[in-house]
A and B are shown apart, each in its own frame.
Chain A
Amino acid sequence: MSEPEATARQETAVTSDAIDSPLLVVDGLRKEFGGVVAVDGATFSVAEGSLTGLIGPNGAGKSTTFNCITGIHEPTGGRVTFDGQSITGLPPYTLANRGLVRTFQIARELSEMTVLENVMLAPGGQVGESVIRSVTPGLRGDVIEAETAVRDRAWETLEFFEIDHLAHENAGNLSGGQRKLLEMARVLMTDPEMILLDEPLAGVNPTLEEKLLERIHELRREQGLTFLLVEHDMDVIMNNCEHIIVMHQGSVLAEGDAETIKSDERVLEAYLGGDV
């Protein structure tokens, strides 16, 4: 099947699927690096409060799509809308302050800072981030008060992810799995509405994987957070995501629930690279 046809079908599919309240809408997203087209007109949306999976073979453009949505890369074309407002090409810090945050494929802990410092960094709009307020004796009271609140919340968050025993450890000393937990704890401290998870389970043992997924479901249930998840483990995606987007060669190949995706021949073709 040719690409344009697939895209056309996809667009109709999205409109007919009629996601009730899309929180994130990606429309015709395009990103070129020199002559290479990494993302070629990707179009999809993510419903509020959902756990949506984004899958695709290596080189399908998943990570580049993530980077374009979260402002790490500026898209060459297309539109991204979050919560009804255009966020195309906005810098990462603006997006984070609006409630759209991400984790990284390879955990990027701030290694020479303690676990607690890593987590306490994250909350937005901290009064103590103003130099004047942090230094001037009279104004410092507010800073101390806010810091105490941030500290208490940081301990709670670390307890939630069961890494509180590592609080005073430098983040660089953590194991791979603990770093993934730390990343989750950190983005959670920003008070997000939506979290983009870039392969959060890669290199994580089954027990920890279970724990992470449990946390994700709990956050959805209790705080109504929306998740977009890139993952290579098919079972995880099929078992946990109610909506799945399949990317192939820079555009969206198929979209739907696990049953739809499993029975979609084009998806099997894309993954196995031939007739099935």
Chain B
Amino acid sequence: MSAVDTVRNRLDALPDVGLVVAFIASIWAVMLVLAIAVGGANWANLAAGFIGSVTVLIGGYAILALALNLQWGYTGLFNIGIAGFMAVGAYTTAVLTAPTDPAAGAVPGLGLPLWVGLIGGMAMAAIIGGLAALPALRLKADYLAIVTVAFSEIIRLIVNWDGLAEVSLLGVPIGTGGATGISFKSANQVASTFINGVGQPLVAAMEGVGVSGPNLANLTYGILLLLVVAASYWVLARITNSPFGRVLKAIREDETVTQSLGKDTRLFKIKTFMIGCALMGLAGVLFRGQAGYISPQQFRPTITFYVFAALIIGGSGSNTGSIIGAATFSGLLFYLPARLGENVSLGGTRAPGNIIDAVAGLGSLDPLPLLAYTISNVSTLRFVLIGVVLIYIIQNQPDGLLGHRNEPATSVSLDRPQSGSGGEADE
């Protein structure tokens, strides 16, 4: 009985919504404990900061993992261009909503409201996703992967390109800002305005216990992002638990058979790819562009692999698993170690300058130098941890935390209708 099995059995016992809420709440609890342990008198503000940041991370990765789960987990479309489709969404929103009269040196945009920008960003990401999928439809899965990764790099290089930094389109000056990036309407600002308006009494009360305004606004934003996750989950659950979702699963299993049963698989693949890319575009704005500023550096391919890691941990093929995986990855493997490293110190032991000195301590049976070294370099070493967890999961639990569950692709209960004879299959 491995540790993962134990966690699994506990998770299995809960209904899905309760499961996700309990899981995120326990990550919050861990953050709270950490803040109390290291924060001293300032613990409340520290806790709000930790919880706000971790919630935004969980929200962002959850949307991305859900989108990837639709494409890869359900349909088997191997999209390794996630970063590119996020960039398309984020940049489209940025160009649509950037002010027409920007500060000196910044790039002007169309000055449209944020909601128009969000819809535009999602639509554009869907269109570009559809274009990327078109040539790949006639090809086998591996070629789609190559096409998407190439697309994502092309997109990043285009937005990084000076030639588009500021151009005049039909007399209207717009642009991507090139390598310096672009500022636009901040989604974070919406949360801030909201909490400082309607939530004024709460802000005052929180300030009483030492929680700063920006931290509270960030926490509000994180919670709003979780609402977006909930909405995405609702839509995706309906998409996947339907005859449409059944065809997607069948395409993943055997496309030839699916075609032989009368399904035009190309249409299903294109639609799926576009829906997934639209969500990725949304995450590009709300997650990477939350502060109202984006630059090409934020859309490097590494984020694509983080999302894959999150989905593999959670269990591809399961919507609930996608969110749990995103929370585990971003909260426990990505964020928590970094905060531990910053805030935990080993009394008098100074961290050695390099790994050789750290290991040398072991020769005299003194583990403290190595421990101190590990803690002070944890933000680098956490990637080793992520790698170890991935290898462990792939070897021992290839289905991830929840991928073993059967989420039947249908809109109705699958029990035998009443008229049927007895002998119900055991479950």
Interface residues of A (CB under 8 A from B): 70-72, 91-93, 96-97, 101-102, 104, 108, 110-114, 116-117, 120-122, 124, 126-131, 134-135, 140, 143-144, 146-148, 150-152, 155, 159, 164-170, 186-187, 190
User: Would you call B15 an interface residue if the criterion is a C-beta within 8 Å of the partner chain's C-beta atoms?
Assistant: no
Partner of B411, one of A92, A113, A147, A169: A147
User: Taking A164-B425, A166-B425 as contacts, is the C-beta distance between A117 and B256 under 8 angstroms?
Assistant: no
A111 to B406, CA, bound (A): 12
Which residues of chain B are near A110, meaning CB under 8 Å? 249-250, 253-254, 257-258
Whether the pair B425, A112 counts as a contact (CB closer than 8 A) is no
Surface stretch bound by A, among B140-148, B239-247, B370-378: B239-247
Whether the pair A112, B420 counts as a contact (CB closer than 8 A) is no
Partner of A117, one of B246, B262, B420: B246
Interface residues of B (CB under 8 A from A): 235, 238-239, 242-247, 249-250, 252-254, 256-265, 268, 271, 275, 317, 406, 408-412, 414, 416-417, 420-421, 423, 425, 427
Whether the pair B250, A128 counts as a contact (CB closer than 8 A) is no
A55 to B257, CA, bound (A): 24
Which residues of chain A are near B242, meaning CB under 8 Å? 128, 134-135, 143, 147
For A151, give the chain B residue with the smallest CB separation.
Answer: B412
Which residues of chain B are near A146, meaning CB under 8 Å? 243
B402 to chain A, nearest CB (A): 14
Whether the pair A130, B244 counts as a contact (CB closer than 8 A) is yes
Whether the pair B250, A143 counts as a contact (CB closer than 8 A) is no
Whether the pair B411, A134 counts as a contact (CB closer than 8 A) is yes
Whether the pair B425, A143 counts as a contact (CB closer than 8 A) is no
Which residues of chain A are near B406, meaning CB under 8 Å? 114, 168, 170
Whether the pair A104, B257 counts as a contact (CB closer than 8 A) is yes
For A167, give the chain B residue with the smallest CB separation.
Answer: B425
Whether the pair B264, A155 counts as a contact (CB closer than 8 A) is no
For B253, give the chain A residue with the smallest CB separation.
Answer: A110
A159 to B257, CA, bound (A): 23
Instruction: Sample 23 A-B pairs with CB under 8 A, ordered by A number.
Output: A91-B264, A93-B263, A96-B261, A101-B261, A102-B260, A120-B243, A121-B250, A121-B261, A122-B261, A128-B242, A129-B247, A134-B238, A144-B412, A148-B412, A151-B417, A155-B416, A155-B417, A159-B421, A164-B425, A167-B416, A168-B414, A168-B427, A186-B261
Whether the pair B257, A116 counts as a contact (CB closer than 8 A) is no
Partner of A128, one of B256, B264, B411: B411
User: Taking A135-B238, A140-B411, A147-B410 as contacts, is the C-beta distance between A111 and B253 under 8 angstroms?
Assistant: yes
Partner of A121, one of B246, B271, B414, B427: B246
A63 to B416, CA, bound (A): 37
Which residues of chain B are near A140, meaning CB under 8 Å? 238, 411
Whether the pair B423, A113 counts as a contact (CB closer than 8 A) is no
Whether the pair B262, A112 counts as a contact (CB closer than 8 A) is no
Which residues of chain B are near A91, meaning CB under 8 Å? 259, 264
User: Taking A129-B243, A135-B239 as contacts, is the C-beta distance between A167 and B414 under 8 angstroms?
Assistant: yes
Which residues of chain B are near A130, meaning CB under 8 Å? 244
Which residues of chain A are near B409, meaning CB under 8 Å? 113, 117
A123 to chain B, nearest CB (A): 8
For B420, give the chain A residue with the smallest CB separation.
Answer: A155
B162 to chain A, nearest CB (A): 40
Report the 3 A-B pairs with minimum CB-CB distance, sorted nearest first: A96-B262, A128-B243, A134-B242
Which residues of chain A are near B245, meaning CB under 8 Å? 134
A122 to B257, CA, bound (A): 10
For B251, give the chain A residue with the smallest CB separation.
Answer: A110
Whether the pair B249, A169 counts as a contact (CB closer than 8 A) is no
Partner of B410, one of A71, A101, A120, A170: A120
B347 to chain A, nearest CB (A): 52
Which residues of chain B are near A70, meaning CB under 8 Å? 260
A134 to B238, CA, bound (A): 6
Which residues of chain A are near B408, meaning CB under 8 Å? 114, 116-117
A130 to B242, CA, bound (A): 9
For B418, give the chain A residue with the smallest CB separation.
Answer: A152
Partner of A93, one of B265, B410, B412, B423: B265
A136 to chain B, nearest CB (A): 9
A131 to B416, CA, bound (A): 26
Whether the pair B243, A147 counts as a contact (CB closer than 8 A) is yes
Whether the pair B260, A134 counts as a contact (CB closer than 8 A) is no
Which residues of chain A are near B423, meaning CB under 8 Å? 164-165
For A72, give the chain B residue with the smallest CB separation.
Answer: B256
Which residues of chain A are near B258, meaning CB under 8 Å? 110, 121
Whether the pair B427, A143 counts as a contact (CB closer than 8 A) is no
Which residues of chain A are near B252, meaning CB under 8 Å? 112
Which residues of chain A are near B260, meaning CB under 8 Å? 70, 72, 92-93, 96, 101-102, 104
Whether the pair A135, B243 counts as a contact (CB closer than 8 A) is no
Which residues of chain B are near A170, meaning CB under 8 Å? 406
